[in-house]
Amino acid sequence: YAGKTLLQNAPHDSICGCSVDEVHREMETRFAKVNQVGEFIKGNLLEEWKQKLDSRQAESDLLFTVVNTGLHDKVDTVSVAVTFATCDFKEAHQTEAYQRMADLTILDFIVKDLYGRSVEAKIEDLGASFQYDLPKDRFRQAYIARQLRVTLPIHLAPLAWKTFQLLPGAKEEHEGLYRNGVIDTPFVTVSFDKHLTVYDKTTHEAYENFLRFEDRGDIGNEYIYFQPKNTEPIYAKLADVKVLENNARYAKVELSHELTLPVNADELLEQEQKGIVEFMTRSAGRSSELTSMILTTELTVFADSPQLRFKTRFTNTAKDHRIRVLFRTHNSSKTNDSDSIYEVVRRNNRPASSWENPENPQHQQAFVSLYDDQKAVTVANKGLNEYEILGDDTIAVTILRATGELGDWGYFPTPEAQCLRDFQVEYTAECHQPQERFAAYRRAKAFQTPLTAFQISKQEGSVAAAGQALDHPALNLAEICPTALKVAEDESGIVLRYYNMSQEEQEVISDSKTLVNLLEEVVPEKIGALGPQEIRTELLK
C-alpha cells in the first residue's frame, strides 16, 4: 500500500513540483500516509525484535538500544526518552498519578555501555507526562510517566546496534571541542568571525566565508527559474553566533543570518504572467518594499567525523524569489560529481554553448562534489535536489523556490507555490582529499538515514545486546554503494544489492554463490570484478 501510494506522487510533473496547488496538496497527504505506514511497520518490527535482546549482564534496569538500520557506517547523535517510573491510572486518579510522578526525586545519572565503559551523554529531566499503550490483547493502558531524555554521540557500523545503561553517578567534565571561538577536531578547524572559515587539516586548505546564503528574484515559473534582468544577488549577513552544546565528542553552534530582500516582484510580473509572456522575454523586476528573514542554522561538528552538519530554519515572508546555500571550494577542475540512481554522474560545470538560459541548475540525489588533484568538497542534502556550480568553485544548493505560476503552455496561477510558511532544511559539507571522495560519498548516503533508539528491559534473550546483522565487503568498501538489504521475494534467503560508484573495476569478494537480477531471477554469471557503475544483486542464503 505504501509503495503504491508513493508511486502516485512520482509522475514527472508532480514529483518536481510542476503542478497546480491542488496536486501538490494531495501529494503532501500521500507522503504523510506513506510515512505513517513506514513508521507503523518499523515500530512493529523493532518492538518484536527488541524482545529478543539479551541484556542480563546490565547493572541497571534503565536500558536503551541504538540501531543503525542503514547500510553505511554512521557517526551521529541520537536521543531517546527513558521512562524512569510510572503510575497507572488503575493505581491512582490521573491527577494524583501526575503529582506522584512530578514529586519524584531524580538522581544524577551517567551513561555506560554494558561493559561498564563511560559514554559522554546529555541527560535531561522531561518531568511527568501522560503516556499510553494500546496492547493487541487487552484494553488501552493509560499512565503518567517520569522520563529522562538521553542524547549521545555514537559511531555505528552498517546494520549494527549497541545497548547502553543509565547508572547513578556524577557526570565527568571534559574539555569541549569549542574553545576561544574555534572548534578543533582531528579533521578540521572551524572559526567564526564575520563569517565561517573552515580549515581542512587533511589538505591544509583554508576555506574563508565557506557558508553563505544567497537570494535572487524569480520571474520564471515552477518549471524554470529566471532571474529578473538588471538585478543582483542579495547575501545574508551573519548577525550572531551562539554555542548550544560543547563536549569532547561534538560541538553545536547556532548561526543567525539576517536576509533583507524585496517582498515580491513588481506589479509588471502579474501582467506578463496573465499575458502569457514567455519568461525569458519578461521585463518585470523586484519590488522596492523590503522584508527581513532570519535564517537560524545549527552547525554540528563531530570529533569522529569530517562531515559538518547543518540544519537551517526560517520563515519565508517573500514571494517570487529563490534562496540558495553556497559553499566556496577553491576547486580548479571543470567537472563535478553528483549522485544519481545507481550511478555517480560526472557533469561539466558550465553548459554547452547552445544552452540559452543563463541559469544551469542540475539534479542530485544525495550529494554533489567538486574536486581537483589537491582538494575536494562534498555537499550532501536531504530532499534538496537542485544544485548549480557557479564558476568552477562554488556549490549552490537550492533551499527554497517561491513562484506564483505553473508555466509551460498557459497561465495557471499557483499562489501556494509561493511557500509562505516555515521551513527546516538539512545538509552537510565535508572537506577532504580527492582520493577519499568515495568514502565521503558513503558518508553523504549515511546522512539520509537517521539512527533509531528505544528503551528495553533487563531480560534474557537470544540476540546479543550489541552486534551487526551482516558483515559483507559491500558494506565496507569505499567505492561500493549498497542500496538494499531485504528478504527475497520467494523468501529463500536475504537479498543484498549494491553498485560500483567508480569508473574502475572493483573486487568484491563474497562467500555468496548466487547472483540474481533486479527481478530476483538467478543469473549464470560468476561473482568476479564489479565493472564501472555496475549493479549487482546477491542472494545470501
302-314 residue pLDDT tens: 999 999 999 999 9
Cell numbers linked to 311: 540544519
Cell numbers linked to 132: 499510553
Tens of pLDDT, residues 244-283: 999 999 999 999 999 999 999 999 999 999 999 999 999 9
Distance CA 176, CA 213 (A): 28
pLDDT of residue 199: 97
pTM beyond cutoff 0.75:
yes
pLDDT value at 511 more than 90: no
Distance CA 51, CA 456 (A): 8
Cell numbers linked to 509: 569478494
Cell numbers linked to 13: 510533473
Tens of pLDDT, residues 131-175: 999 888 889 999 999 999 999 999 999 999 999 999 999 888 889
Alpha helices in 398-531 (DSSP H): 437-446
> Could you tell me whether strands 463-464 and 53-54 are parallel, antiparallel, or unpaired per DSSP bridges?
parallel
To which H or E segment does residue 37 belong? helix 21-50
What's the order of all strands across the beta sheet hosting 74-88? Answer: 74-88, 141-156, 122-133
> Could you tell me whether strands 321-328 and 335-340 are parallel, antiparallel, or unpaired per DSSP bridges?
unpaired
Picking from 238, 237, 235, the residue whose alpha carbon sits closest to that of residue 214 is 235
Tens of pLDDT, residues 89-117: 999 999 999 999 999 999 899 999 999 99
Tens of pLDDT, residues 516-541: 999 999 998 777 789 999 999 999 98
| Cβ neighbours around 148 below 10 Å, total | 18
Which distant-in-sequence residues (6+ apart) come within 8 Å of 41 by Cβ?
A: 2
Write out the DSSP string of 196-214: EEEEETTTTEEETT-EEEE
Place of cell 549577513: 237
Distance CA 369, CA 438 (A): 10
Average pLDDT in the 34-53 region?
95
Contacts by residues 176-179 (CB-CB < 8 Å, ≥ 24 positions apart): 176/246, 176/247, 176/248, 176/251, 177/246, 177/247, 177/248, 177/249, 177/250, 177/251, 177/301, 177/303, 178/243, 178/246, 178/251, 178/253
Tens of pLDDT, residues 287-336: 999 999 999 999 999 999 999 999 999 999 999 999 999 999 999 999 99
Cell numbers linked to 276: 502569457
Q: Residue 318 in contact with residue 308, Cβ under 8 Å?
A: no
Which distant-in-sequence residues (6+ apart) come within 8 Å of 491 by Cβ?
A: none
Confidence of residue 512 (pLDDT cuts 50, 70, 90): confident
Distance CA 346, CA 335 (A): 7
Cα 359–chain centre separation: 26
Give the start-end residues of each E strand in 101-159. 109-113, 118-119, 122-133, 141-156
| Cβ neighbours around 337 below 10 Å, total | 21
Beta bridge partners of 464: 54
> Residue 406 phi/psi, 5° resolution?
-70, -50
pLDDT value at 11 more than 80: yes
Which sign does the torsion angle of CA 310, 316, 317, 323 carry?
A: positive
pLDDT value at 56 more than 80: yes
